Structure 1
């Protein structure tokens, strides 16, 4: 299944370019904390020449252990709510800012498929959280359609769109 128009390669590159220009103009830096996208957000951002002026780091944390060690997600949060939850996404984005020097961060955690869906958390369920240093984080749940590629691509697109609103 194809991803929506806003998630084409050209659209992702254009949004990433625009975001980079805004971050550079505002003297802001960015960090990514990624689970289901496995570093795709960081990749699309660092494909832009000169991104070292505003991209701080990216952390791909799939396992519970990695989420705890790299992003300071509490074991209790993972046990009570699971990796794909608002609570985990919020702790991931806050932890990313704690462990990096970035001005703002995005965190994603979800079920890209084809398996792994659970009652109440079907394939395509993705939580995205955004935070600017010194502000409260925001998290939103999405229910994307399509295969693994489409779910991940839409997650990247929504992550970038949320960062544009925050920058």
Structure 2
């Protein structure tokens, strides 16, 4: 992957303060489903637990561009027995929106999930009101498995959540085309 498209790397403690600011941005928080932003201390404490390697079912990554952190990606609920995991992503630097960095980060994350962890499937949930994310999942080759109707209560109302997945065989077949 070229630096022009961004890249993922394991998260570092020094990245956390930058990421904390994104929770306090209303537009980013809404797209991410954050109702109440956490204090910096609470935010840092949550990441401190991650760095202690308490769980093997979560991997956190920073999305970087020209040496600066522009986003975060995670592979969570890693289920080695069934060969699947969920993922999430946020591009916190709004100047980087719409430039393909999120798509490239997802492709890199999929490569890691399928080639390093040898998973069978990666999936995610997307609010159906988040058109940008819905379109990106389709453009990468994710299959929309269904919609969980009125699944999450957020900002005073229930919202539908679309479930997307991609299998390792689908990723291998289309990775050169879509990523």
- Give TM-score scaled by structure 1 length: 0.32
Which structure exhibits the higher relative contact order, with contacts defined as CA atoms closer than 8 Å and separated by 6 or more residues?
Answer: 1
More helix by share: 1
Larger Rg: 2
TM-score, normalisation: structure 2: 0.31
